[in-house]
Amino acid sequence: MFRTSSALMLFSSMVLSASAQSVSPQTASPAVTIHQRVNQSCELMQPAALRDNGKYASLVIPGTDAEIYSSELTQDDFLSYSKEVPGKLVKLARKSGFGVKPDGSNADAPAVVDLNGNGQCPNLEEALHTAEIQRRDRRVQVQSKLYKLTSDDVTPPSPIHTVDLMPDQKTTGTGSTGTKEKLVQGIVILQVLVDRDGNVTNAKVVRSLAPEMDRRAVEGVKTWKFYPSRKNGVPVAVLMNIEIAFHRD
């Protein structure tokens, strides 16, 4: 009988199993204010909920479900918060890439602030539309790249669904050519692309074991499903190695 095990290949291997998935429950989200530059001299102040997602923080505009991540804002943009916001959540927001400043005097939001006093700022409706387009374009830019786990400061994908690649197989089996092939034990290393939706869209062998074992590894891994890798909260595509170990019981 054969069985398989698998691991992500990072600086050290991490075992993949159904228990490895982790999605932290979202608790009540305290209110903050987003300060976003819509042009060089005008700032949009917009209320938002600061959400704790466990490994990263995000923002949610009241009345919407879409999350906003730090990568969608610029270095001139920041969040202001009151003393009611827990310090732990403020630290998580900073760790997630948000600029944060203490300030409890944002009762006028949403509003457009004329930073230079030149009277050339858009009205609130135009500013809200501009800010949304700016955030969307920055997210598209982040998600257009292919990241690597070992060098691009992204979180590893977490498995939702994996399958045993060789359930109840005997020591010989029928290969892809229709001939009998001996199933050997050992390790296959695959380089896989997990897209921003958590699907394995490409897999290739970088360390071969035997043609039939390689084929089983590639075909099996393409059926796996992950929580996607994230860059400051933004779901992104990632290239990584997965080690598949075939064991003889």
Residue-range domain boundaries for the chain: 2-22+146-248, 31-143
Over 60: is that where the pLDDT of 33 sits? yes
| Two structure tokens written together for 79 | 């969040």
Provide CATH code, domain 2-22+146-248: 3.30.1150
CA distance 249 to 236: 38
pTM for the whole thing?
Answer: 0.78
**Backbone φ/ψ region at 214: left (φ over 0), alpha (ψ -120 to 50), beta:** alpha
Better-scored residue on pLDDT, 17 or 147: 147
Better-scored residue on pLDDT, 104 or 51: 51
| Two structure tokens written together for 111 | 């509003």
Q: What is the mean pLDDT of the chain?
A: 84
To the nearest whole percent, how much of the chain has pLDDT over 70? Answer: 79
Over 80: is that where the pLDDT of 164 sits? no
A 10 A CB-CB count for 39 gives 14
- pLDDT at residue 236 in the model: 97
CA distance 244 to 214: 9
Rg (CA), the chain: 24
Least confidently predicted of 46-50, 116-120, 127-131: 116-120
pLDDT band at 6 (very low <50, low <70, confident <90, very high): low
How buried is residue 147: exposed, middle or buried, by Cβ count under 10 Å (0-12/13-18/19+)?
Answer: buried
Render pLDDT for 94-110 as a digit per residue (tens, 0 to 9): 999 999 999 866 667 89
- Using CA of residue 187, residue 191, residue 197, residue 199, what is the dihedral sign? negative
Chain mean position to CA 20:
16
- pLDDT at residue 235 in the model: 96
3-class DSSP state for residue 171? coil
